[in-house]
Structure formats: structure tokens, C-alpha cells
Homo-oligomer: A and B are copies of this chain.
């Protein structure tokens, strides 16, 4: 397992252990984690802090040249909001833990030239399956359903 996806999974687990939605993300530049985060809908009553958004917020105000060379890791296929942030900052490489429990905007990202790799990671799939089975309403709220 890639150590950066492992870090994203640790973020997801931390979110789960806080009673939140188990999705985590890290943004990596030149082999170093610039920002890491996890979904904070429950913990902060946030409508916008998905895992990827939290990672961007923690990475902070970076020059465009830095974001353009960064890779974003996320445990779950990125939704339209997080995909939009990826496009805004010109991230060109996204590594996705899994897209079986939710298929985000991978096609849109690819159509704009982003390289999207999907790992089909069993740990990521299991975390989301367990969470969706336990709290389907919370999951639906998070994806706007």
C-alpha cells in the first residue's frame, strides 16, 4: 500500500472514530504531504468540508505552480464539488481508493486532462459499506440526495 493512500485511510478512520463520515484525503507535492484532511460534516456541521476540501483548506494558500505539480489522494471517488476544486487548482493527478460505493466526476476530470487512477482498495470499500449500512441518511445528505 502506497504510504500516501495509507495516510488518507488514516484520516478516514479518524473521521469515523469521531462519529463522522469515513473519507480522507491528502495532497502531496514533491514527496511531502502539503495538506491532509477528512470529512467534517458531522464534527463541524459543515456543508463544504468533504475530505478533499479539508485537505485543500489545510494545504492552504499555495502558489498555482505548487498545486499544478501536486497529486491528490482520496479514499473515495471525488464528488462534483471536490472535482471542481481539483480543476480550479489544476491538480493533474488524482489517486482514488475506490469508486464502487460512490462514482464521482471521474469522467469530467479525465475529459479535462486529469489522470485518475482507481485502486479498488478493499479497506476503503469496507469502510464506506459499513458506514452507509449504519447511517444511510447521513450519507445521502453528504452527497446531496
Interfacial chain B residues near A107, Cβ < 8 Å: none
Chain A interface size, as a band, is: 20 to 34
Chain A positions within 8 Å of B, measured between CB atoms, are 41, 45-48, 53, 56-57, 59-64, 67, 79-85, 87-90, 105, 108, 140-141, 143-145
Asked whether B144 lies within 8 Å of A61 as measured between CB atoms, the reply is: no
Minimum CB–CB distance for A109 against chain B, Å: 10
A57→B47 CA distance, assembly (Å): 5
Within 8 Å by CB of A48, from B41, B48, B80, lies B48
Asked whether A140 lies within 8 Å of B64 as measured between CB atoms, the reply is: yes
Could you show 13 A-B contacts with beta carbons less than 8 Å apart? A41-B61, A47-B57, A47-B62, A48-B48, A67-B144, A79-B84, A80-B84, A80-B88, A83-B84, A84-B85, A84-B87, A84-B105, A108-B108
